Amino acid sequence: MEENHIYNRADDLISKYTNFIESIKCRKTEECITLRHIIDLKSVLADINNVITLLATHAVAYKIAEALGFSEAETRRLMCKINEVGPNTNGYDIQIDDPKILVEVKCNKLIDGKFGAAQLKSMQNDILKLLEPSPEKHKKTYETIKSTKEYLKILTLVNFDDISAQKLVEPLTKEVKCKEGTSEDRKKRKGTWKHVKLLEGSLPIYVPSGEKEDKVYILVLSLKDLEDSLNKILAK
């Protein structure tokens, strides 16, 4: 297949956004209130989270490449691998097999100063997926990688509200006690606090094997990290 026919997630998502902007540029407001523009806007808004997730994925990939001392060619191959995968595809957001690294990216914004119950549940499920993919719940992922014990596992969050990283991740790191009669699934989710550790400083590419097995590091990205990713995409 020719290179220019290979799917590129960055190009696809950014072009959808810019095409919509171009379609309403220099038009009077009343001219934009049409059914077609409303339908187009719905599609663009649905993709906004995918764009932000892609920028965050690029940001953590660049950090990993820098920590590993990747060459320019190695970094480019990693970014191409990310871009060739469509949004909302099953599997991990980043999977590197040499050295073994797995990354899941969550771009949840605080609601009234805190994460909502559904947001926390989603993040806890991603922690479980990083620790031990389930053949029932993560069928496609499990077919690719049945054990994550040897992998460095990273959950990436974005600090949209410019608060301390400690405060942002507190709902994931503080102990949660379950009431009597709590379901096993809920107990597993609520027990993930035991396995997470806020990553402060540089990426720990090399960690003790015992800690690697049952620990998920939380990497917090800043808005500047995402802006840098966007600028790199636009510069190409």
Q: What is the pLDDT of residue 2?
A: 40
Per-residue pLDDT tens for 52-96?
A: 999 999 999 999 999 999 999 999 999 999 998 888 788 899 999
Q: How far apart are CA 74 and CA 68, in angstroms?
A: 10
| Helix %, strand %, coil % of the chain (to 5) | 55, 10, 35
pLDDT exceeds 90 at position 201: no
Q: How far apart are CA 149 and CA 209, in angstroms?
A: 8
Q: How far apart are CA 117 and CA 176, in angstroms?
A: 13
pLDDT exceeds 50 at position 208: yes
Tokens of 138: 């993560």
pTM score, whole prediction: 0.85
Q: What is the pLDDT of residue 6?
A: 54
- Domain ranges in the chain are 3-235
